[in-house]
Chains A and B, each alone.
Chain A
């Protein structure tokens, strides 16, 4: 325990406190959890990337339907394979923390939902979302007609300029009115 906490030096710690919404204890805990997931030979090295499979083993992310999208959004690796460095991990926790603002959360939520990374939520993005949300088993998924009806209703409500897609500002407009969003868009270690 002592060896892992001494790896995170004081300067870096105070910088991370400036740059994220996390408190000191949360950053230290994140560092411990991250180091615990590193394979033995890499312990103590900096700037190591954890592959996505390892990250998805964490209990907080395992049961989440959007876990892969989350990893892709926060990953800074070149081929964008979903692997995270410690700083990416901190970014993730900061965006999902209690103190993060509505703007940050809605920004990242939009990017997570945007599966094809085209900057808007089109019909395919929304369909993928519904499939993820309703789970994999046959008796919990919607059939084609219900899906179409649902997506039409959603677009009717949120698409203000009627261009067939939901862009970032429309999304933020919808989300900011919701009383549940900030409290449910949270991950705590």
Chain B
């Protein structure tokens, strides 16, 4: 009741005065019964008004005593004075309390009589010894406890009102008024509640909450100020609409993700090795071999990531396998392994969190066809558009989509030659499968050839032969998507469905290429492992020979280690660094191709159209080439695949993440400039947000797919014997097992061995599957309940219409 009253009071601001007068009239008649109840409040008011300190019990008692034994007029005066002096809300609350007590009294016996009895009892108590006054006090304290609790409740409500006031659709003036009232009420009573022992904690809590709220608000402001490129994206938005801008928002999100991953990798792996590890040239793995040294600084070698680049922190091979390094005993191999796994874990967390947030905001999209027309009508206009040309385009596209959907509805029954259509679609799919297979084979072939090239003398190879793999992959990525689009003309789908098919096919193309590339690479790895074995045997044989000679020559058993310059030591092939190099080269060439495409495909085209238009037969701007449109889906897919390659390659080349950060940064500025200078808004405007979760879903899939090769190599392939942080181990994860055995207390080892027991893992997996099944059933149940409720609503409204028609 009280709560409802508070809310109603908040809204009916203008009715305040009436209520107050009403209450004041009632007061004198019920004064006697209420006097006792109002006293604690009066005394609180006194304390607050006079001294700010916590009133001692004695003064309180005397104050109360005085109020009790004095004439009734005094309390009445105080009441009236309070009423006059204090703000409206407070007086209302006090009088409201009186009303409540009134009601309570009425429920019991006759009010006046009751009050009299209580009054007399009080007077008797007051006149007796001080001990009874203590009883009195306790009595009154317990009363004020209840009241104070009720007061606290009110204050909390007011605070809630303040925090939610911006979500109420009122006018600003009304909101201001309500806010001021609520704030004053809260201030007054928080002060009152802060008095007395035990209340200090409450007052402190209140102050801390206020400070926390202010701090939160300032922090939110600061965070929004820190977000980069807001202006740029807003400009793009107003010119091109929200769909193009969604690409740039995605780019910025990726940049943030990569920045954090770079922080992890750099801080936990690269920096310790640089600061605390051995410097360049001290051990064989960190030195350029003797026969490569004269070409190590050449630009062509460096741009191929050989020479000094290969033997630097960029690649896996540089890291030493000492268990702990430096003064701080930093465990580098463990950190390397855990960071690589942690990168996947963190990315997974962030992607899923973003997907959940998108799903919450936008509805699940499950009811796609349900509100077709209404959505077109109510949500199709993009309020961010600030450019008249874009607005005209938008009008045209809305009209087209209206007309289309009207026609669609009517044409749904029309049955064209269904057999011809089916045949065409199947043949189109067959053609595309052939293309995909062809491109996969091409890549395999080229990678095998590059292995043969690697065996030949590097100086005799042309640039093309050196970079054949990357060249072929980029070419395929450029040529195949338009090819797919032309073949898809055969299929005759609705544009949105056609777009989905196109995206799926491009996805399959990239995936196929990437995995073929990986298979070929890992074939190479096994070949390298074979050579490694032979080299390892050779080194060990040489070492044992040296020991034998030394012992026989000097006739001692105390043999110093061989004094060989690190540059001259025989090296194994170090397959991890080779794999890392391949990835880095691939990504660099990918970036180059993207930038070149933009430069030629968009910029050069725009320049030609603009300047040749004056002296050309037909209108270039409206006719054939015209200005390009920004290819959203192509760019987003490119970004996603780039990220997939980064995830795959980060394990073998820790510097890759840093390079990606630079690439994304430059990409942002370059593409923003390109889109504003060379592109025109789309003719058909597609909605961005519905595809948002689609792209996130793709990203998630790529994350899993790129985790597989890394996990596979960690689990099954053995590390090189002379390079990288895991050299000397049987398998890479042995580092973790070693740490558990040696560094952690014994019981943790037993815990881990229990946890990795198949007998425990199988039931856990079963449990998770059961949980998924259960949640699925629950969600189906909710959907069913939804449709039932809708039907019920229709029935109710229909029956009410029928009823009305009878009267």
- Do these two chains really belong together in a complex? yes
Q: Are A161 and B371 in touch, CB under 8 angstroms? A: no
Q: Are B402 and A134 in touch, CB under 8 angstroms? A: yes
Q: Are B176 and A133 in touch, CB under 8 angstroms? A: no
> For chain B, what secondary structure do more than half of its interface residues adopt (helix, strand, loop), or is it mixed?
helix
- Do A104 and B689 form a contact, CB below 8 Å, given A134-B399, A178-B375? no
Extra contacts, 14 of them, besides A63-B386, A96-B383, A178-B375 (Cβ < 8 A), are A15-B176, A20-B166, A64-B391, A76-B172, A94-B166, A133-B377, A149-B406, A150-B406, A161-B793, A163-B801, A174-B371, A177-B367, A184-B383, A186-B383
Flag the segment in B96-104, B358-366, B755-763 that touches A: B358-366
Which B residues lie within 8 Å of A176 (CB)? Answer: 363
A182 to B224, CA, bound (A): 19
Interface residue A65 (Cβ < 8 Å from any Cβ of B): yes
Which B residues lie within 8 Å of A24 (CB)? Answer: 221
Q: Are A19 and B801 in touch, CB under 8 angstroms? A: no
Q: Are A126 and B220 in touch, CB under 8 angstroms? A: no
Which B residues lie within 8 Å of A87 (CB)? Answer: 172-173
Which A residues lie within 8 Å of B689 (CB)? Answer: 179-180, 183-184
Looking at the complex, which one of A25, A154, A171 makes contact with B373 (CB distance below 8 Å)? A154
A129 to B403, CA, bound (A): 15
Closest to B375 in A: A178
A163 to B796, CA, bound (A): 12
Closest to B410 in A: A149
Looking at the complex, which one of A94, A142, A182, A187 makes contact with B361 (CB distance below 8 Å)? A182
Closest to A16 in B: B172
Interface residue B169 (Cβ < 8 Å from any Cβ of A): yes
A181 to B355, CA, bound (A): 18
A94 to B170, CA, bound (A): 12
Q: Are A180 and B362 in touch, CB under 8 angstroms? A: yes
Interface residue B432 (Cβ < 8 Å from any Cβ of A): no
Interface residue B71 (Cβ < 8 Å from any Cβ of A): no
Closest to B362 in A: A179
A102 to B162, CA, bound (A): 19
Looking at the complex, which one of A108, A126, A162 makes contact with B798 (CB distance below 8 Å)? A162
**What are 14 A-B interface contacts by the 8 Å CB criterion?**
A20-B166, A23-B221, A62-B388, A63-B391, A109-B378, A134-B395, A140-B399, A142-B402, A153-B372, A157-B373, A160-B790, A163-B801, A179-B689, A180-B689
Interface residue A18 (Cβ < 8 Å from any Cβ of B): yes
Q: How far is the CB of A36 from chain B (nearest CB, A)?
A: 16
Which A residues lie within 8 Å of B173 (CB)? Answer: 76, 87
Closest to A152 in B: B373
A121 to B120, CA, bound (A): 66
- Do A59 and B238 form a contact, CB below 8 Å, given A23-B224, A135-B395, A140-B395? yes
Closest to A132 in B: B381
Which A residues lie within 8 Å of B88 (CB)? Answer: none
Closest to A189 in B: B234
Interface residue A17 (Cβ < 8 Å from any Cβ of B): yes
Q: Are A142 and B375 in touch, CB under 8 angstroms? A: no
10 A-B pairs with least C-beta separation: A179-B362, A161-B797, A135-B395, A63-B391, A87-B172, A153-B373, A181-B379, A140-B399, A107-B169, A134-B399
Q: How far is the CB of B213 from chain A (nearest CB, A)?
A: 10
Interface residue B370 (Cβ < 8 Å from any Cβ of A): yes
A residues apposed to B, CB below 8 Å: 15, 17-21, 23-25, 59-60, 62-66, 76, 87-88, 90-91, 94-96, 101, 103-104, 107-109, 113, 126, 129-130, 133-135, 137, 140-142, 146, 149-150, 153-154, 157-158, 160-163, 171, 174-188
Which B residues lie within 8 Å of A142 (CB)? Answer: 399, 402-403
Q: Are A64 and B377 in touch, CB under 8 angstroms? A: no
Q: Are B224 and A157 in touch, CB under 8 angstroms? A: no
Closest to B220 in A: A23
Closest to A161 in B: B797
Q: Are A60 and B406 in touch, CB under 8 angstroms? A: no
- Do A103 and B387 form a contact, CB below 8 Å, given A87-B173, A178-B379? no
Q: Are B374 and A158 in touch, CB under 8 angstroms? A: yes
Looking at the complex, which one of A18, A65, A162 makes contact with B162 (CB distance below 8 Å)? A18
Q: Are A25 and B221 in touch, CB under 8 angstroms? A: yes
Q: How far is the CB of B357 from chain A (nearest CB, A)?
A: 12
Closest to A113 in B: B378
Which A residues lie within 8 Å of B375 (CB)? Answer: 174, 178, 180-181
Interface residue B171 (Cβ < 8 Å from any Cβ of A): yes
Q: Are B165 and A18 in touch, CB under 8 angstroms? A: yes
Within 8 A of A (CB), among B744-803: 790, 793-794, 796-798, 801
Interface residue B422 (Cβ < 8 Å from any Cβ of A): no
A103 to B238, CA, bound (A): 25
A111 to B172, CA, bound (A): 17
Interface size class of B (residues with CB under 8 A): 35 or more
A140 to B368, CA, bound (A): 26
Which B residues lie within 8 Å of A158 (CB)? Answer: 371, 374
Q: How far is the CB of B297 from chain A (nearest CB, A)?
A: 50
- Do A175 and B172 form a contact, CB below 8 Å, given A160-B790, A161-B793, A183-B688? no
Closest to B163 in A: A18
Which A residues lie within 8 Å of B384 (CB)? Answer: 184, 186-188
- Do A180 and B379 form a contact, CB below 8 Å, given A62-B386, A62-B388, A162-B794? yes
- Do A157 and B388 form a contact, CB below 8 Å, given A18-B179, A176-B363, A178-B375? no
Q: How far is the CB of A168 from chain B (nearest CB, A)?
A: 11
- Do A25 and B225 form a contact, CB below 8 Å, given A63-B386, A146-B403, A186-B383? yes
Interface residue B687 (Cβ < 8 Å from any Cβ of A): yes
Q: Are A188 and B361 in touch, CB under 8 angstroms? A: no
Q: Are B172 and A91 in touch, CB under 8 angstroms? A: yes
Q: How far is the CB of B165 from chain A (nearest CB, A)?
A: 6
Looking at the complex, which one of A94, A135, A160 makes contact with B392 (CB distance below 8 Å)? A135
Which B residues lie within 8 Å of A113 (CB)? Answer: 378
- Do A178 and B371 form a contact, CB below 8 Å, given A25-B224, A133-B398, A160-B793? yes
Q: How far is the CB of A144 from chain B (nearest CB, A)?
A: 13
A162 to B687, CA, bound (A): 30
Q: Are B377 and A130 in touch, CB under 8 angstroms? A: yes
A109 to B375, CA, bound (A): 13
Within 8 A of A (CB), among B387-408: 387-388, 390-392, 395-396, 398-399, 402-403, 406
Looking at the complex, which one of B238, B690, B790 makes contact with A60 (CB distance below 8 Å)? B238
Q: How far is the CB of A19 from chain B (nearest CB, A)?
A: 5
Q: How far is the CB of B400 from chain A (nearest CB, A)?
A: 9
Which A residues lie within 8 Å of B225 (CB)? Answer: 25
Which B residues lie within 8 Å of A65 (CB)? Answer: 381, 391, 395
Q: Are A64 and B374 in touch, CB under 8 angstroms? A: no
Which A residues lie within 8 Å of B797 (CB)? Answer: 160-163
A181 to B381, CA, bound (A): 9
Within 8 A of A (CB), among B233-267: 234, 237-238, 242
Closest to B225 in A: A25
A121 to B420, CA, bound (A): 46
A18 to B431, CA, bound (A): 61
Interface residue B457 (Cβ < 8 Å from any Cβ of A): no
Contact string against A for B residues 195-238, beta-carbon threshold 8 Å, 1 for contact and 0 otherwise: 00000000000000000000001001100110000000010011
Q: How far is the CB of B387 from chain A (nearest CB, A)?
A: 7
Closest to B392 in A: A135
Q: How far is the CB of A57 from chain B (nearest CB, A)?
A: 12
Q: How far is the CB of B801 from chain A (nearest CB, A)?
A: 7
- Do A157 and B372 form a contact, CB below 8 Å, given A18-B162, A186-B383? yes
Which A residues lie within 8 Å of B162 (CB)? Answer: 18
Q: Are A134 and B398 in touch, CB under 8 angstroms? A: yes
Q: Are A178 and B363 in touch, CB under 8 angstroms? A: yes
Which A residues lie within 8 Å of B365 (CB)? Answer: 179
- Do A157 and B370 form a contact, CB below 8 Å, given A20-B166, A23-B224? yes
Which B residues lie within 8 Å of A101 (CB)? Answer: 167
Which B residues lie within 8 Å of A21 (CB)? Answer: 166
Q: How far is the CB of A111 from chain B (nearest CB, A)?
A: 8
Q: How far is the CB of B422 from chain A (nearest CB, A)?
A: 30
Q: Are B381 and A184 in touch, CB under 8 angstroms? A: yes
Q: Are A161 and B794 in touch, CB under 8 angstroms? A: yes
Interface residue B385 (Cβ < 8 Å from any Cβ of A): yes
Closest to B246 in A: A183
